[in-house]
Amino acid sequence: MLKKLLKYDFNAIFKYWWIGALTTLALSFVGAGCGTILETEKELPPSVIIFATIGMVLVVLGIFAFIIFAELLVYVRFYKHLFTDEGYLTFTLPVKRHQILSSKLISGFVCGLLTFIVAAADAAIIILTTFRKDIFYDGWYYDLVTFLKEMVEESGIPYLTAFFGQLLIICLLVLILGVLFTYLCITFAGAISKKSKLASAILIYYGASSVSSIFMYMFYFFGASSIFNWIDSLSSSNTQDNILLIIMLLVILFITMLCTVAYTFNYRLLDRKLNLN
Amino acid sequence: MNVLEFKNVSKAYTKGVYVINNLNLEIPQGKIIGLLGPNGCGKSTLIKMVAGLLQPSNGEILVNGTPVGDETCALISYLPERTYFTASMKVIDIIDYFADFYKDFDKVRALNLLKDLNVDTNARLKKLSKGTKEKVQLVLVMSRQAKLYLLDEPIAGVDPATREYILSTIVSNYNPEATIIITTHLITDVEPVLDDFIFISYGGQIVMGGNAEEARNATGKSLDELFKEVFRC
Amino acid sequence: MKKYLVLFISVIILSLSLCIPSFASNKRVITLSDDYKYMYYNGATYVRADASMLRFTDRDLFEFEESENVTDSIVESSEGVYTYTAYDNYQDYYKIMLTEEQNKAIKMVEVTNSSHDEVIFFIIIYFCDGSELHLDFILEDSIDDYNMVISGNTKEYQIDFMWPDDNNITVDKDKFYIGNKTTINSWDYEYNYSIYASSPTDSFDAEIGMILKIENSYYFYSFIESDIKSSLDFYNMNSNKKIKVIELADEELINKIKIGEEKRLNDKFGYLYNDELTETVSKIFFILVFAIFPLAIAVTTLVIAIKAKKGVYKKLLIATSGLSLASLAVFIYIAFTLFNK
């Protein structure tokens, strides 16, 4: 039954998603053209530069709009499918509640991941085309790799490239947590509000996001530098590398725990506190 | 065997205010039963609890001896009082949707019934009139070979001709071994098809119930007249 | 009304006319020798030098990325001399006068005056063939000062404690060399303070080393002796590199350093970043987040799971509890490793 649910969820989301994706990919080539114009050393009429600047701004806005559009597709689907009249059909299907939730989670996660890939591809098309003279020479492959290496080194985290796999897992888990968190806000609003469930969901989401932002800021302010001081004070670099590995493990476990808490709470609310009127 | 049992079932939306209060009821299989009562007495709440859309505050509901859950959803064919399909879906998509999820769904019968209604299966639901939408929903629900049909206000808000069609479809297409529960306050229209009836009052209290024909013979009144008598304001 | 309007306009015109001469008379003119080895400005000669050893710890800041200030104005020709107008990062105004040959080869010139005393200039020449020439010029009369500063041969050194403002001490250079030579790992320090050598005229200074503090000892690390160009190069150093240092032994120097540190710790701004306070708060924060919170989750979910009926919900609760306990266990291990050396 999960496969069937996934089939319909993917159909519903990607029916419109691919239009947005293709549009932004096309826009990114426009952006690449604008970037090339702006970076050229030739003297160009001011009107051309103005148009290129406006074009670039619109392209970047377009990419952000696509990301928001993709998010909306997922969350509107979740809300409509479970908390509007369509919920009468969803919750009377011969499927378990956790299958409904899992289907929404998987489709939301996949959509988020693909959206990120498309947005990254858009950015890559614009940047690599605009700065192609700096990057692509005869040995363009090696120059590209050098360029990417320099980007990583300039970002200040070459130390962490050794933990690429762990970082990737953490990023994926954070994406899952983000999806579950939003779903939870919608479900919670659906359970406690009698009217204006959507407005309540938005309020709860922004309230909870603000609280978590404060928390993240405190973590950065108090925690981040102290961790590196503590690690640096360890006797050998081997111990330092090992402890970093274990810290990554802690982060993975912690985020997974948060995901299961969100999922469990969400499941319980859907199972016991469904309030379709 | 009882297809549906309520054991000490209560439901409160807010603390202390019970919509259904300690209901005990057994419904046999193979009957068309009218669940009749004034507006706001808890008919839809009862139906939704059986369908799994609401959780009882207390007590237990058993469908074919099984507590309400995903297993009972496979046994129940539910028609709510509203359109519950995505408006942008085509009729044929909805048919495929039902065929995908319900093993007991008869696709051929559904298509034939829709053909009789002159419904274009490639039309999107949002293009259909209210009455046609109701008919499409009903066709889909009645094309299943379920054990229990729950029809919540199936004839409310439609014209008399459509009402007649709906009732005739119900009678001609349901599984004879199954039970149909119809909630309505339009008793005159639904009375001819009912085997049994239950008058339900505020708080989910059963005021009167039994075989419809026997009640008519005993009192010399129609169910509608009995209803008006029982629930006189 | 007309009278006031006339008065108003007259005042504006008069003000403008007074301003124009001041612009016109501001002849900040730079010329370059044909071989680009010398620069002439304000009657003085500037010679080529490598200014990368100076105080500007991030040399790239002055690589003219903010060159939107630079304009390539209309070329004026007067008696075979071509001029470009350039503005530096301090919004000062320089005219660069080029010879005919130079003008043919050069597309644009950018100038930055790196110090207010105009002792050092950074110039970038963009040639028509696409190449660039980055030049640092130092006032010829200051070249001895410059050599003294970058070689650390000044009489005194200055230690900068970063905050509050002007929290720095000046100490005789010799005092840094009193003490035993030793080696330490380049990252084995708790705090570091930059050391500068200043020119006698105070027009520029160079970062020539660091004080590294480990527990209660202070070590002098000389950039000059270790061939390190700047603190940025020091920070980019491999973490387990051995470096040669001198353990400070001069009591006066050590006391002055302690006073500077005290000021730093007691500063209101520094209070927020007081390392001990931050560390304590960090520890409390981490314990709350990675110990107390998972423990609470584990206990709560276990208690609910015990009461729950068999099913998906019970399994989810048990999984959550397990993950919380695993997270707690890993945190305890990390805390033990980090604080039980």
- A94–B97: do the CB atoms touch at under 8 Å? no
Other C-beta atoms lying within 10 Å of the C-beta of residue A196: 11
Mean pLDDT, chain C cut into blocks of 10 residues (341 residues total): 68 59 56 88 86 51 39 37 43 71 80 69 82 84 85 89 82 92 88 86 79 91 83 73 92 92 69 64 86 94 92 93 94 83 55
**Chain A residues inside the 8 Å CB shell of B97:** 8
What mean pLDDT comes out for the span A5-34?
91
Distance of CA B203 to the CA centre of its chain: 20
The verdict on A214 touching C (C-beta cutoff 8 Å) is: no
Distance of CA A222 to the CA centre of its chain: 26
Closest to A245 (Cα-Cα) out of C330, C320, C325:
C330
Q: Which residue has the higher pLDDT, C25 or A78?
A: A78
pLDDT at residue C271, rounded to an integer: 47
Touching partners of A (3+ C-beta pairs < 8 Å): B, C
Q: Which tens digit of pLDDT belongs to each residue from C278-321?
A: 778 888 888 888 999 999 999 999 999 999 888 899 999 999 99
- B82–A85: do the CB atoms touch at under 8 Å? yes
Helix ranges restricted to H, chain C: 2-24, 100-105, 143-150, 223-226, 231-235, 251-266, 268-272, 275-287, 293-307, 312-339
Q: B19-33, B71-85, B94-108, C24-38: which range is least confident on average?
A: C24-38
Please classify residue C17 by burial: count the beta carbons closer than 10 Å to its beta carbon, then call 0-12 exposed, 13-18 middle and 19+ buried: exposed
The answer to whether A115 and A66 are in contact (CB under 8 A) is: yes
pLDDT at residue C198, rounded to an integer: 83
The answer to whether B6 and B58 are in contact (CB under 8 A) is: no
Rounded Cα gap, residues A198 and A205, in angstroms: 10
Q: Which tens digit of pLDDT belongs to each residue from B189-205?
A: 888 888 899 998 887 78
Q: Which of B83, B101, B145 has the most A C-beta neighbours within 10 Å, making it the best mutation to test the interface with A?
A: B101
DSSP character for C288?
Answer: I
- A95–B80: do the CB atoms touch at under 8 Å? no
Chain A, window 81-120: residues with a beta carbon less than 8 angstroms from a chain C beta carbon: 96-98
- C341–A223: do the CB atoms touch at under 8 Å? no
Is this prediction's ipTM beyond 0.85?
Answer: yes
Please tell me the distance in Å from A203's CA to the nearest CA on chain C: 25
- A276–B84: do the CB atoms touch at under 8 Å? no
Rounded Cα gap, residues C236 and C245, in angstroms: 18
Closest to B149 (Cα-Cα) out of B138, B160, B133:
B138
Touching partners of C (3+ C-beta pairs < 8 Å): A
pLDDT band for A137, please (50, 70, 90 cuts): low
User: Strand order in B32-36's β-sheet?
Assistant: B76-79, B148-152, B179-184, B32-36, B196-201, B205-211
Q: What angle do CA A259, A260, A262 make, to 5 degrees?
A: 65
Q: Which tens digit of pLDDT belongs to each residue from A161-193?
A: 567 788 889 999 999 999 999 999 999 988 888
- B102–A94: do the CB atoms touch at under 8 Å? yes
pLDDT at residue C69, rounded to an integer: 39
Question: How would you classify residue B110: left for phi > 0, otherwise alpha for psi between -120 and 50, otherwise beta?
Answer: alpha
What type of residue sits at position A55?
G
pLDDT at residue A23, rounded to an integer: 92
* Alpha-carbon dihedral angle through residues A243, A247, A250, A255, given to the nearest 10 degrees: -170
Q: Which of C285, C294, C341 sits opposite A234 (nearest CB)?
A: C341
Distances (CA, A) of C3 to C10, C11, C13, C15, C259: 11, 12, 15, 18, 67
Q: What angle do CA C100, C101, C106 make, to 5 degrees?
A: 100
Q: Which of C282, C319, C334 sits opposite A247 (nearest CB)?
A: C334
**Chain C residues inside the 8 Å CB shell of A232:** 187, 239
**Chain A residues inside the 8 Å CB shell of C187:** 232
Q: Which of B70, B76, B83 sits opposite A95 (nearest CB)?
A: B70
Distances (CA, A) of A223 to A274, C179, C239, C293, C340: 40, 37, 22, 16, 19
Q: Which tens digit of pLDDT belongs to each residue from C123-148?
A: 878 888 888 888 888 888 888 888 88
What mean pLDDT comes out for the span B33-62?
88
The verdict on A86 touching B (C-beta cutoff 8 Å) is: yes
Q: Which of A215, A250, A259, A267 has the most C C-beta neighbours within 10 Å, making it the best mutation to test the interface with C?
A: A250
What type of residue sits at position C104?
K
User: Quick one: tokens of A114?
Assistant: 């693909």
Helix ranges restricted to H, B20-69: 43-51
- A88–B76: do the CB atoms touch at under 8 Å? no
Q: Please name the residues in contact with B214: beta carbons below 8 A apart, sequence gap of 6 or more.
A: none
The dihedral built from the CA positions of residue B129, B134, B135 and B140, taken in this order, carries a sign that is positive
Rounded Cα gap, residues B58 and B63, in angstroms: 16
Q: Which of B71, B74, B85 sits opposite A89 (nearest CB)?
A: B85
Q: Which of A5, A91, A267 has the most B C-beta neighbours within 10 Å, making it the best mutation to test the interface with B?
A: A91
Give C158's strand partners: C170, C196
The answer to whether A130 and A74 are in contact (CB under 8 A) is: no
Q: Which tens digit of pLDDT belongs to each residue from B206-219?
A: 888 888 888 888 88
* Backbone φ, ψ for residue B103 (5° rounding): -70, -30
Three-class SS of A61-113: HHHHHHHHHHHHHHHHHHHHHHHCCHHHHHCCCCCCHHHHHHHHHHHHHHHHH
- A92–B73: do the CB atoms touch at under 8 Å? yes
Closest to C250 (Cα-Cα) out of C209, C211, C200, C223:
C211
**Chain A residues inside the 8 Å CB shell of C285:** 218-219, 222-223
DSSP string covering C229-254: --HHHHHTS-TT-EEEEEEE--HHHH
Please tell me the distance in Å from A59's CA to the nearest CA on chain C: 24
User: Quick one: tokens of B185?
Assistant: 């306050």
- C320–A257: do the CB atoms touch at under 8 Å? yes
**Chain B residues inside the 8 Å CB shell of A100:** none
Give C211's strand partners: C193, C220
The dihedral built from the CA positions of residue A10, A11, A17 and A22, taken in this order, carries a sign that is positive
**Chain A residues inside the 8 Å CB shell of B69:** 96
Count chain A–chain B contacts defined by CB atoms under 8 A.
Answer: 56
The residues on C that touch A, with CB distances below 8 Å, are 187, 190, 239-240, 275, 278-279, 281-283, 285-286, 289-290, 294, 297, 301, 312-313, 316-317, 319-320, 323-324, 326-327, 330-331, 333-334, 337-339, 341
pLDDT at residue C82, rounded to an integer: 42
Q: Which residue has the higher pLDDT, B209 or A231?
A: B209
pLDDT over threshold 70, residue B56:
yes
